[in-house]
Amino acid sequence: MYPETFEGFAIPSAEEWNHPKRFEFKPKPFGDYDIDVKIIACGVCGSDVHTATGGWGNKNWPLVPGHEIIGHAVKVGPKVTTVKVGDRVGVGAQISACLECNICKEDNETYCKQQLDTYGSIYPDGTLAHGGYSSHIRAHEHFTFPIPEKLESELAAPMLCAGLTAYSPLVRNGAGPGKKVGILGIGGIGHFGILFSKALGAETYAISRSARKKDDAMAMGADGFLETQVEGWNKDHEMTFDLILSTASSNDDFSLTPYLSLLKVHGKFIAVGLPEGEGWRLAPQNLLSNGCLIGSSHLGSRKETLAMLELAADQGIKSWVETIPVGEEGCGQALTRVHENDVRYRFTLVDYDKQFS
Ligand SMILES: [Zn+2]
Ligand SMILES: [Zn+2]
């Protein structure tokens, strides 16, 4: 039990990816800049499923997933200045970086060569990092974010991975007043794409295969909806978009060309969905008609995380969340339903006090 050991719900193996089991584990040694967080809520991310099923190549079992964590600081290291015991804080999908290299110093710590994911990575001392389906998490203060009072815990949790994954590339690629932005795929990340693109002031279109999510997308604030199974869906919008943020998590029957045709000259297609498997086939010729640019984006910086949380608090942005009690059953259910895309649009695990006394 805490403080010697933490307790969580771990995936025993890829074969049993949706049957997590109660599990005790030792955290990494406590450092001067570390904070122990007693968890009260955690979002369930698509990454949790890709990792649990072994689809992304995880080989470290048992493993506790979860990287959209909200809780209260219960212990702070002697050099911590940004958090006090008792503060409500969040921990997202990144738990460490060197914080000394030029990449880190330019607020690109998410691209640091030494960046560590919140779960599944190995600390320098050999400890396997476990995530937020657990009683506590130990994190460096740089990766521990004060949560504005106005944000409810279960709505703030999914912002820490899905929200940031949408927010950072929107900001970095100029989403704002006078810009036309497309959000491809309306799932966990995509719904934040719509919410944050609107909050940043951009004209925002949802792009989805069928009209099934149209009402939801419009309720999130989208200015328009493009249904890609309709013949000629892209014709009226060719060369009008400044930016498309793709959150598509499957490559089945996916051709980039009609999406790229939407972009203005040198418009950008930024993909943050990470499908399993081989990916796109692409030739330079596919980019010639508008000289468009293709890129990706990993999470975001601490600065961006704090700015995103402030924007969400100021504008009263509400994540669309279903809550589910943490536990062997609840975690298993949430993983299964995320795997089946059966969630509007994110799960947050709650009721931690009932599992961890
Ligand atoms: Zn995630
Ligand atoms: Zn670094």
> 286-320, pLDDT tens digit by residue?
899 999 999 999 999 999 999 999 999 999 999 99
The answer to whether position 312 is within a domain reads: no
The answer to whether position 324 is within a domain reads: yes
Same domain, 202 and 103: no
The answer to whether position 304 is within a domain reads: no
Same domain, 149 and 185: no
The answer to whether position 307 is within a domain reads: no
Taken as a whole, the chain contains a residue count of 357
Q: Which ligand sits nearest to residue 99's alpha carbon?
A: 2
Looking at residue 176, its pLDDT comes to 98
Residue 342 C-alpha to ligand 2 middle, in angstroms?
37
The answer to whether position 85 is within a domain reads: yes
How confident is residue 193, by pLDDT bands cut at 50, 70 and 90?
Answer: very high
The answer to whether position 257 is within a domain reads: yes
State the pairing for strand pair 116-117/21-25: unpaired
Looking at residue 271, its pLDDT comes to 96
Encoded amino acid at 355, one letter: Q
Domain limits for position 221:
163-296
Q: Average per-residue pLDDT in the chain? A: 96
The Cα 330–Cα 323 span in angstroms is 10
Same domain, 104 and 248: no
Residue 33 C-alpha to ligand 2 middle, in angstroms?
16
How confident is residue 255, by pLDDT bands cut at 50, 70 and 90?
Answer: confident
Same domain, 142 and 80: yes
The answer to whether position 39 is within a domain reads: yes
Same domain, 203 and 286: yes
State the pairing for strand pair 293-296/241-246: unpaired
Nearest to 171 by CA among 211, 133, 191, 199: 199
Q: What is the DSSP letter of 148?
A: P
Nearest to 130 by CA among 115, 120, 117: 120
Total domain count for the chain?
A: 2
Encoded amino acid at 226, one letter: L
- Which residues are CB-neighbours of 188 under 8 A, at least 6 positions away? 45, 46, 158, 162, 247, 338, 343, 345, 346
How confident is residue 250, by pLDDT bands cut at 50, 70 and 90?
Answer: confident
How confident is residue 39, by pLDDT bands cut at 50, 70 and 90?
Answer: very high
Looking at residue 56, its pLDDT comes to 85
Residue 132 C-alpha to ligand 1 middle, in angstroms?
11
Q: Which ligand sits nearest to residue 247's alpha carbon?
A: 1
Q: DSSP alpha helices (H): ranges in the chain?
A: 46-52, 102-105, 153-156, 162-172, 188-199, 214-219, 257-260, 302-315, 328-339, 352-355
Same domain, 204 and 261: yes
Residue 239 C-alpha to ligand 2 middle, in angstroms?
38
The Cα 333–Cα 324 span in angstroms is 9
Same domain, 111 and 156: yes
- E strands, 26-63, in order: 34-44
Residue 161 C-alpha to ligand 1 middle, in angstroms?
5
Same domain, 167 and 142: no
Looking at residue 24, its pLDDT comes to 97
Angle of helix 162-172 relative to helix 188-199, nearest 10 degrees? 40
pLDDT, one tens digit per residue, over 136-176 is 999 999 999 999 999 999 999 999 999 999 999 999 999 99
How confident is residue 281, by pLDDT bands cut at 50, 70 and 90?
Answer: confident
The answer to whether position 333 is within a domain reads: yes
- Helix, strand, or coil here: 250? coil
Q: Assign residue 47 the CATH number of its domain.
A: 3.90.180.10
Considering only 36-45, 173-182, 229-238, 247-256, which range has the smallest mean pLDDT? 247-256
DSSP 72-119: EEEEE-TT--S--TT-EEEE-SEEE--S-SHHHHTT-GGG-TT-EESS
Q: Which ligand sits nearest to residue 109's alpha carbon?
A: 2
Structure tokens belonging to residue 89 = 């804080």
Distances (CA, A) of 72 to 83, 90, 109: 10, 8, 24
Same domain, 344 and 279: no
How confident is residue 97, by pLDDT bands cut at 50, 70 and 90?
Answer: very high
Looking at residue 27, its pLDDT comes to 97
Same domain, 231 and 110: no
Distances (CA, A) of 167 to 58, 196, 257, 294: 27, 6, 25, 17
Residue 232 C-alpha to ligand 1 middle, in angstroms?
34
Provide the whole-model pTM. Answer: 0.96
Q: Which ligand sits nearest to residue 161's alpha carbon?
A: 1
Same domain, 175 and 279: yes
pLDDT, one tens digit per residue, over 202-228 is 999 999 999 999 999 999 999 999 999
Residue 46 C-alpha to ligand 1 middle, in angstroms?
6
**Are the beta carbons of 99 and 113 closer than 8 angstroms?**
no
Residue 304 C-alpha to ligand 2 middle, in angstroms?
17
Q: Which ligand sits nearest to residue 107's alpha carbon?
A: 2
Residue 57 C-alpha to ligand 1 middle, in angstroms?
16
Q: Assign residue 254 the CATH number of its domain.
A: 3.40.50.720
